[in-house]
């Protein structure tokens, strides 16, 4: 039986995003800038990460509240050892209808087939440029596009559904909007443009470096005319468009200039078991403590009900209204 719980804005909990690791092989300048996430940066030790058993127990509980969709993220989720084993166990849980991974795709060449066989439905691949020179700058590690494009091909060969995510930041990669649109119109993969967000405390965000949804759409529409589409599901973060005369789609995720908090059904679990009710939260709720303290399911359930029914978050709306911001959690830790 599913018990829907509503928050202060009558939003149900539908979508659980699990960060399985805080480490990453990239140093994207807007997420984990290399000068902060250097050799001496202290990532979580292994024993602090939630184990697969702990994750599975929690997902079983969450599924009773109406959570149907699981997204594995990070850091780079494919760096978590034996991720396919976790996927296979998630796939067995009643009520879980959709399992997806958000990844930079480099390790998909090795893992796509195993993940698909384990029950993974989809991958959302992050790629910020199609030209090597630009991409080598954005990923902070000088990595060319070819390992990512090969990863995307491996996902396609394995039969996984694919979307591409591109963060657009002024002065970083706006030159790539049209080249990326042309490239993925041909492959038929849905390309989603993400407005550069003020996540974390180190990416030097300011409003001047945001390229808005309106600007992105206008630029593409001039060369490749677009037709707006309805959302696929309640709470979808991207506004969707189709190219005229084609089935290929794009989306724009406009958390800054057109917030979508009113339909936010997402809850996030950090790699060390803290629950966050917003991407921009200052603090999480320690669920690992309950798990490792031997609490029964009932105690965890009543805690979750308390957390969700008190949830009042609508950070992107508050930001747009000029409400002062607090210290935030890093995106690589909370999960993107």
Ligand X SMILES: Nc1nc2c(ncn2[C@@H]2O[C@H](COP(=O)(O)OP(=O)(O)OP(=O)(O)O)[C@@H](O)[C@H]2O)c(=O)[nH]1
Ligand Y SMILES: C[S@@+](CC[C@H](N)C(=O)[O-])C[C@H]1O[C@@H](n2cnc3c(N)ncnc32)[C@H](O)[C@@H]1O
Binding region for [4Fe-4S] cluster: 24, 28, 31, 261, 264, 278
Contact set for ligand X, span 254-293 (CB under 6 A): 255, 264, 266, 279
Judged by beta carbon, residue 31 or residue 217, the one nearer ligand SF4 is 31
192 within 8 A of 163, measured Cβ to Cβ: yes
For residue 203, the partner it binds in ligand Y, ligand SF4, ligand X, none, with Cβ less than 5 to 8 A by kind, is ligand Y
232 within 8 A of 212, measured Cβ to Cβ: no
163 binds ligand X (CB under 6 A): yes
125 within 8 A of 148, measured Cβ to Cβ: yes
200 binds ligand X (CB under 6 A): no
Distance CA 59, CA 64 (A): 9
Shortest approach of ligand X to residue 125 CB, angstroms? 9
Judged by beta carbon, residue 27 or residue 311, the one nearer ligand Y is 27
Binding site for ligand Y (CB under 6 A): 24, 30-31, 73-74, 76, 102-104, 126, 165, 167, 194, 196-197, 199, 203, 331-332, 336
How distant is the alpha carbon of residue 139 from its chain centre?
17
For residue 313, the partner it binds in ligand Y, ligand X, ligand SF4, none, with Cβ less than 5 to 8 A by kind, is ligand SF4
Distance CA 189, CA 161 (A): 9
For residue 44, the partner it binds in ligand X, ligand SF4, ligand Y, none, with Cβ less than 5 to 8 A by kind, is none
> Residue 9 contacts by C-beta under 8 Å, 6 or more apart in sequence?
261, 262, 311, 312, 314
Q: What are phi and psi of 210, to 5 degrees?
A: -90, 130
Shortest approach of ligand SF4 to residue 243 CB, angstroms? 27
C-alpha radius of gyration, the chain, whole number: 19
Binding-site sequence positions for GTP = 17, 71, 102, 163, 266-268
Stretch that binds ligand X, among 49-57, 219-227, 231-239, 286-294 (CB under 6 A): 231-239
191 binds ligand X (CB under 6 A): no
Shortest approach of ligand Y to residue 124 CB, angstroms? 7
User: What is the H or E stretch that residue 192 is in?
Assistant: strand 190-195
Binding-site sequence positions = 17, 24, 28, 30-31, 71, 75, 102, 126, 163, 197, 261, 264, 266-268, 278
∠ Cα 268 69 297 (to 5°): 65
Shortest approach of ligand SF4 to residue 262 CB, angstroms? 8
Residue 325 CA: distances (Å) to CA of 102, 280, 283, 315 = 27, 9, 13, 9
Cα first-last separation, the chain? 30
Binding site for ligand SF4 (CB under 6 A): 24, 26-28, 31-32, 74-76, 104, 126, 255, 260-261, 264, 266, 278-280, 313-316, 332
Q: By CB under 6 A, name the one of 19, 29, 102, 270 that touches ligand X.
A: 102
Residue 122 CA: distances (Å) to CA of 29, 61, 101, 113, 296 = 26, 23, 7, 12, 33
Please give the residue ranges that form the binding site for ligand X (CB under 6 A). 71, 100, 102, 124, 163, 165, 194, 197, 236-238, 253, 255, 264, 266, 279, 316, 336
């Amino acid at each position: 039986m599913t018990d829907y719980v509503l928050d202060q804005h009558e939003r149900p909990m539908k979508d659980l995003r699990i960060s399985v690791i805080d480490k990453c092989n990239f140093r994207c300048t807007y997420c984990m800038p290399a000068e902060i996430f250097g050799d001496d940066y202290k990532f979580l030790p292994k024993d602090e990460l939630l184990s697969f058993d702990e994750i599975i127990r929690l997902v079983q509980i969450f599924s009773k509240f109406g959570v149907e969709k699981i997204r594995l993220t990070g850091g780079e989720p494919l760096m978590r050892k034996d991720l396919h084993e976790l996927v296979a166990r998630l796939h067995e849980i009643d009520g879980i209808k959709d399992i997806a991974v958000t990844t930079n795709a480099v390790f998909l060449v090795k893992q796509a087939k195993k993940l698909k066989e384990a029950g993974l439905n989809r991958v959302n691949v992050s790629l910020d440029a199609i030209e090597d020179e630009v991409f080598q700058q954005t990923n902070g590690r000088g990595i060319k596009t070819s390992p990512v494009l090969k990863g995307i091909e491996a996902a396609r060969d394995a039969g996984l559904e694919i979307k591409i995510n591109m963060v657009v930041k002024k002065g970083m990669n706006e030159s790539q909007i049209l080249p990326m649109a042309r490239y993925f119109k041909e492959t038929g993969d849905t390309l989603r443009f993400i407005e550069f967000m003020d996540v974390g405390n180190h990416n030097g965000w300011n409003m001047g470096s945001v390229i808005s949804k309106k600007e992105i759409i206008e630029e593409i529409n001039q060369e490749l005319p677009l037709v707006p589409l309805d959302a696929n599901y309640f709470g979808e973060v991207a506004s969707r468009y189709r190219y005229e005369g084609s089935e290929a789609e794009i989306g724009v995720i406009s958390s800054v200039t057109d917030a979508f908090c009113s339909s936010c059904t997402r809850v996030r679990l950090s790699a060390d078991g803290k629950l966050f009710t917003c991407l921009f939260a200052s603090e999480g709720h320690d669920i690992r403590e309950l798990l490792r303290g031997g609490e029964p399911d009932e105690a965890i359930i009543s805690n979750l009900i308390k957390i969700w029914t008190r949830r009042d978050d609508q950070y992107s709306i508050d930001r747009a209204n000029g409400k002062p911001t607090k210290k935030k959690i890093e995106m690589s830790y909370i999960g993107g």
